[in-house]
Amino acid sequence: MIKPIAFYLPQFHPIPENDLWWGKGFTEWTNVTKAKPLFPGHYQPFLPADLGYYDLRISEIRVEQSILAKSFGIYGFAYWHYWFGGGKMLLQRPAEEMLSSGQPDFPFCFAWANETWSGRWHGLNDKVLITQDYPGVDDVYNHFMYCLPFFRDHRYIKVNGKPVFIIYRPNDVPDNLMFLDLWQKFSINSGFEGVHFIGVSDKSDINGKGYGGRIQNAPIVSGRLKGKRIRHDQSLMSIKKILSTYFTNPKPGYPETYSYSDYVQSRLDIGFGDDEYPLVLPGWDNTPRSSSRGLVLHDVNVDSFKKYLEFACRCSRDSKLPGDFLFVKSWNEWAEGNVLEPSIRFGNAFLEGFLEVLSVFGHFSRRN
């Protein structure tokens, strides 16, 4: 059975660090609601519909999200997990409250976003906000022990008795830490069969390093697609536009822009490797965060998404990788424009298309 897992962003509630860096009350909605169109036909702001500008500290919102996701064929969420070393974490509250409350009753796993946070996409050049550190073996153990109660939860997604754990930057984890080997040992000692690691990597360079599969990063703009970059007439830029972008981009201009349909076709042409879990992307536009430094997949449409998803489902069905997973980026990355949740622009069209394609493969009908 194909098991679609959607990445889930928890940055929809205030935290002290974001208050300090960006101003009191900052959440991802701050970026989303201030977005503006940067070229003719550019659809911004891209805003939510049914669920509104939610706060993930509210348990009813998390339950409502899971009900909606399940009813349209999503198997589970992959929560982005922020462990920076030395026990420093951010944005852990939604997952911790989900664990302690037992709600929502919906499968989940963790995706460790192991990277340094900087302000370079927000007009702060390369100012480091918080560093991703790897202090040593003690921290590897402490990290595992933090995750262990989640692993033991009946909702945690497992493969052959192994909790699934995704690592965003697998090649950044120092080899001398023996992170994967140690976690396998800790996991077996805790009563599991090990850990099923999945690395986010565009190449098969993590083969043989203890990973049970990989996921492509997104969006992948291939060499053949780069030739199809949409050109914007810079002469059409007003003085006001130039001045407004000066402080966020040393070379004021338009964001790098491609056709979503061309992007989808390129993914179909490239395909997925034997060591790769299929990943589908319902769109991309990170200009709410990055302004003219961003990347836009223009003219996003449901028909292209359905074609993309159908191809990914066939690959998932035929894959020899364990778990039968298909990943979606994402459930709610509103400031990156990759979203399955209902929007003012599309309503439920992407979710309806998702269910339609999954139903063709005989795995899903509407579930309430």
Q: Which residue type occupies 287?
A: T
30 Cα distance to chain centroid: 19
Q: What is the pLDDT of residues 76-114, one digit of tens each?
A: 999 999 999 999 999 999 999 999 999 999 999 999 999
Phi-psi category of residue 202: left, alpha or beta, with phi > 0 → left and psi -120 to 50 → alpha:
alpha
Give which of 288, 289, 218 is closest to 258, Cα–Cα. 218
**Predicted TM-score of the model (pTM):** 0.92
Per the structure block, which two tokens stand in for 340? 């399955």
Q: Is the peptide bond before 10 cis (omega within 30 degrees of 0)?
A: no
Rounding to the nearest 10 degrees, give the CA dihedral for residues 335, 206, 79, 178: -130
pLDDT in tens, 147-156: 999 999 999 9
CB atoms within 10 A of CB 224: 12
Q: Which domains does the chain have, with CATH numbers?
A: 3-360 (3.20.20.80)
Token code pair at residue 39:
């070229």
Long-range contacts formed by 226-232: CB under 8 A, 24+ apart: 228/258, 228/259, 228/262, 229/256, 229/257, 229/258, 230/257, 230/258, 230/259, 230/298, 232/39, 232/257
Q: What would the DSSP string read from start to end of 15-53?
A: -HHHHHHH-TT--HHHHHHH----STT------B-TT-S
Q: For 295-353, write each residue's pLDDT tens digit.
A: 999 999 999 999 999 999 999 999 999 999 999 999 999 999 999 999 999 999 999 99
Q: How far apart are CA 366 and CA 359, in angstroms?
A: 9
Q: Decide if pLDDT at 275 tops 80.
A: yes
Taken in order 258, 264, 270, 272, the sign of the CA dihedral is positive
